[in-house]
């Protein structure tokens, strides 16, 4: 999404520069017209991508949000549960003695692609780690795009 927005802004800036150049005699009207046609067509394509929305899908608000973190925080609990159910399986493992407090290693997060992602700093099946470091190229088999705090980079 950010790349599309950046491309759209760059095209708008280029078209404005071409218009200024025409006024200063640096470009011909034909050059500006040709550039405007191509630029506005591409802007229309980008706008279609940016404004494509699936209204009944709780993921749509996150995917189309300018600030996905804020959108997640604003998402109702019921929708958060639906999104988590769709993207991953979260399992709370037995901890042994009660009363020791929460242990992150007792949580297993498995992306629906099938690669287990533990909430720890150890590399998991796809080489991803909870610390946010990218997976190593030799272990980058996982194609899931899950980004959950403490789970998958």
Does pLDDT of 52 surpass 80?
no
Closest CA to 5 of 73, 62, 66: 66
Where are the domains positioned within the chain? 2-52, 68-139
Distance CA 43, CA 19 (A): 17
Instruction: Provide the pLDDT confidence category of residue 24 given band limits of 50, 70 and 90.
Output: very high
Phi (first) and psi of residue 107, to 5 degrees: -110, 125
Yes or no: say if 93 and 108 are a contact pair by the CB < 8 Å rule: yes
Closest CA to 153 of 141, 127, 137, 138: 127
Total-model pTM: 0.38
pLDDT at 98: 64
Does pLDDT of 111 surpass 70?
yes
Q: Distance of alpha carbon 65 from its chain centroid, rounded?
A: 9
Yes or no: say if 153 and 124 are a contact pair by the CB < 8 Å rule: no
């Amino acid at each position: 999404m950010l790349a599309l927005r950046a491309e759209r802004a760059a095209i708008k800036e280029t078209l404005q520069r071409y218009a200024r150049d025409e006024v200063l005699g640096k470009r011909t009207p034909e050059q500006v017209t040709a550039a405007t046609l191509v630029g506005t067509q591409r802007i229309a394509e980008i706008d279609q991508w940016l404004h494509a929305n699936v209204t009944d899908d709780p993921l749509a608000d996150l995917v189309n949000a300018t600030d996905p973190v804020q959108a997640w925080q604003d998402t109702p609990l019921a929708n958060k549960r639906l999104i988590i159910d769709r993207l991953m399986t979260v399992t709370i493992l037995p901890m042994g003695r009660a009363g020791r407090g929460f242990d992150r290693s007792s949580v297993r997060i498995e992306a629906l692609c099938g690669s287990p992602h533990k909430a720890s700093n150890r590399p998991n099946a796809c080489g991803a780690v909870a610390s946010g470091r990218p997976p190593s190229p030799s272990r980058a088999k996982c194609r899931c795009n899950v980004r959950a705090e403490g789970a998958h980079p």
